[in-house]
Amino acid sequence: MQDIKWTANRMPASKDEHLAVMSVENVAAVRHFHESFPQYDKTPLAILSNMAKTLGLGGLYVKDESYRFGLNAFKVLGGSFAMARYIAGEVGRDISEMTYDYLTSDQLKEEFGQATFFTATDGNHGRGVAWAANKLGQKSVVHMPKGSSKPRFDNIAAEGALVTIEEGNYDECVRMAAAGAEKTPRGVVVQDTAWDGYEEIPAWIMQGYSTMAAEAVEQLKEAKADRPTHIFVQAGVGSLAGAVVGYYANLYQDNPPVFVVMEAQIADCLYKGALAADGSPRIVDGDLQTIMAGLACGEPNTISWDILRNHAGFFVSCPDWVAAKGMRMLAAPRGGDPQVISGESGAVGMGLISVLMESDDYRSLREAVGLTKDSRVLMFSTEGDTDPENYRDIVWNGKCPSV
């Protein structure tokens, strides 16, 4: 069984110029946009009080994104907002005018017409882009990496996208999407991977993710829970992690939580960059095969990387068994706690938190992070059973055992 690897953040700080992307004001505008959708509702915040007691924590809170817009994952938040920001710029309107009613109106058809949105995905982001394009009367083209699951492919195709499974990995599919958009009249790349010369849309996608984090703040207050002391957030290219860390760093400027960033071990580019400790990102290549398909990305988002190098406390490289353990725990909670159907990329936080609290093999990490009986921990289950067959293999049949 592979070991969990970790490092504290010892990187030199940058000028922190990208933190403003996730300002409280920007997040409020994003929330206003999402609330205009008829499909909008807050996703649940599962309060796992008995699990917290079992593990020796003061509180454990899981944001359950399996309910988001009926799409079983959070990714639609980013793609939909980025598309709206792009359209706003094309028609010369403010984002505050980009309501669902306007974006689906005959007026928009006259003012904007139709574009084709290109993206690469393991499943959830592509489905979100395809869904938003379908609802807004736009076109979408989606490239999926080698090994992508048939159910995720079918869900994207059902939204009217032109979707393919390629022979390359995720990062190669990103380059394929960019090349396709360049050749297509009114072709637009909607990708959360940022690189030099392509940062505006990835920043908008990151902002879109913030609705989830802002809802969690409100729900914690409603539950009479204080500010979380620790936030565990997973990372592929790092856009979600950068969005969550950036928003909460802005919100709790005087007393930020401890931020723990988790990756799939086969694609742990952020961990490797943090381990090098020189402030420069690292790239991981290869097939990147892992059950955490949503985290199988080897090239960091440059905007997110800058936020994380300044504000993340720890970077953790997790083998597949950590996510599988988390899936099983959330599916069979302690008596009285709500069940969370959490997919492979959504449950890694639960698996890691449980290992840290229960195993002396990782006592050094537990103590470094500062997890105690007074800790209030927030994590994000970013997807449900988006690959139902694999979910059953793990939860029912014990695939990827932790012992």
Q: Which residues are annotated as catalytic?
A: 75, 122
DSSP per position, 65-92: GGGGGGTTBSTHHHHHHHHHHHHHHHHT
Residue for token pair 């500010």: 227
Using CA atoms, how far residue 217 sits from 154, 166, 195, 210, 386, in Å, is 34, 39, 31, 11, 26
Report which of 392, 379, 80 is spatially closest to residue 229, judged by C-alpha positions: 379
User: How far is residue 118's CA from residue 403's CA, in Å, rounded to a whole number?
Assistant: 42
Decide: 129 and 117 in contact? Cβ < 8 Å: yes
Q: Cα dist. 162→133, 201, 213, 336, 361 in Å?
A: 12, 21, 31, 44, 47
Indicate left, alpha or beta for 180 from its phi (over 0: left) and psi (-120 to 50: alpha): alpha
Q: Is 220 exposed, middle or buried, given 0-12, 13-18 or 19+ CB atoms closer than 10 A?
A: buried
Q: Is 114 left (phi over 0), alpha (psi -120 to 50) or beta?
A: beta
Contact between residue 244 and residue 307 where contact means Cβ atoms under 8 Å apart: no
CB 116 within 8 A of CB 161: no
- In angstroms, rounded to a whole number, what is the distance separating the alpha carbons of residues 236 and 268? 8
Bridge partners (DSSP) of residue 260 are 232, 314
